[in-house]
Amino acid sequence: MSLKDFFIALSENQFLNNNAKKYGLKLGAASVVAGTNIAEVMDSIKELNSHGISCTVDNLGEFVHDQSEATAAKEQILAVIEAIHQNNVDAHISLKPSQLGLDIDYDFCYRNLKEIVALADQYNIFVNFDMENYERLQPSFNLLEKLSKDHQNIGTVIQAYFLRAKDDIKKFKDFRLRIVKGAYKESSDVAYQEKEDIDRNYIDLLEYHLLHGKFTSIATHDHNIINHIKKFIADHNIPNEKYEFQMLYGFRQDMQLQLVKEGYNFCTYVPFGQDWYGYFMRRLAERPQNIELVIKQVFNKKTNTLLGVAAAGFIVGRLTKRR
C-alpha cells in the first residue's frame, strides 16, 4: 500500500474519526484547521482578510448517517452565514452535500441545501458545492443544476483525476468553478492513476475555464503549476476579476502572501470544527510531504529529525492501536 492509499484508508475509518475527536486538535491538525467553533473561525478570517486574503469556510463533518446529524450541520452552516454577514468579513461558504443528507435521502438533502443557498443569496454570499467521491459526483451535480434554476450564487468543483472532467467543465462553464486534482481513492475505470496524467489534465482544465468560463478558482499548492498558469494568464490577457488562486489554510502561507503582494486575487480554504480527522488525513494523502509540516509545527525546529519521525509514528499508532 502506498503512503497515499494509507492516509486515504485512514480518512475513511469511522472508528478512528470518532476517537480522534477525543484529542481535539492536539495531534497536529491545529496548524491546518482554523478553530473548533464559529467565533474562532471568524477571528481567523479577520486575520486573513487583514492581509488582503478572501476566505471560503468549510464546516467540517464526516460520516453523516441520520437526519438529525444532517439537520445539525445545516443549522451550523446557517449560523456561519449569519456570522459572515454580521461580521462583514470577506468570506463565502464551501459545503459537502453528504454532510447535509445526500447519503440519506436526496429530497431531504435538497431541502437542506435550498435553505442554506437561499439565506446566503439574501446576503449576497456565494456557496460552493465541494465534490466528494465518484459515487456522489452525479447526484451532487444534479442538486447544483436544480438549485441553479432559482439561485445564481452557487458553484462547484471539478476534479482533474476524473476521466469525465473535461466533459463536466464544458457543461458547467457558466458556473464559478474551483479546479482541483482530487483527494479520494478512485478506480482506473473512472479516474487517472498517475500523477503526470492528473497534472496534465489539471492544467488543461484550468486553461479551458480561464478562457471560456465564468470564474476560476485555481486551487493548488504546486509552484510549477502556479508559474505556468501565471504565464498563461499574462499571455492571454485574462482580467483579474475572472480568477483567483486558492490554497488551504495553514499550507504555504509565504506563497499565499506573495501572490497577494504580486496583485493576484487570493482565497484561503478555511476549515473549522471538531470533526477534523477525515479532512486532515486527506490532506496528508494528497501530498504526503505535508507530514513534514505537521512534524515542524508539532515540534520546534531544533527537534532532531529522527525524533520527529518517531513522534509522527506515535501519533498514527495512538489512533490505530485500538482497532
Residue 6 has which C-alpha cell? Answer: 494509507
- Is 187 exposed, middle or buried (CB count within 10 Å of its CB: 0-12, 13-18, 19+)? exposed
Catalytic one of 103, 121, 130, 275: 130
Residue 92 host element (H or E)? strand 91-95
* Residue whose C-alpha cell is 492516509: 7
- Is 274 exposed, middle or buried (CB count within 10 Å of its CB: 0-12, 13-18, 19+)? middle
Q: Judge whether 322 counts as a catalytic residue.
A: no
Scored b (16 or more CB within 10 A) or e, 44-81 reads bbeebbeebbbbbbbbbbbbbeeeebbeebbebbbebb
In this structure, the dihedral spanned by the alpha carbons of residues 229, 202, 145 and 270, taken in order and rounded to 10 degrees, is -70
According to DSSP, residue 191 is labeled B
Cα dist from 319 to 53, 274, 276, 286, whole Å:
35, 16, 14, 20
Catalytic one of 178, 282, 283, 287: 178
Strands of 121-174 (E only): list them.
127-129, 154-159
Residue 82 has which C-alpha cell? Answer: 449569519
Q: Strand, coil or helix: what is 73?
A: helix
According to DSSP, residue 262 is labeled T
Q: Judge whether 189 counts as a catalytic residue.
A: no
Closest Cα to residue 113, out of 133, 91, 128?
A: 128
Q: What is the identity of the amino acid at 308?
A: G
Q: Helices (DSSP H) in 158-268: which residue ranges?
A: 165-171, 195-212, 223-235, 253-261
Cα dist from 107 to 94, 114, 149, 151, 197, whole Å:
20, 10, 16, 17, 36
Catalytic residue IDs:
130, 178
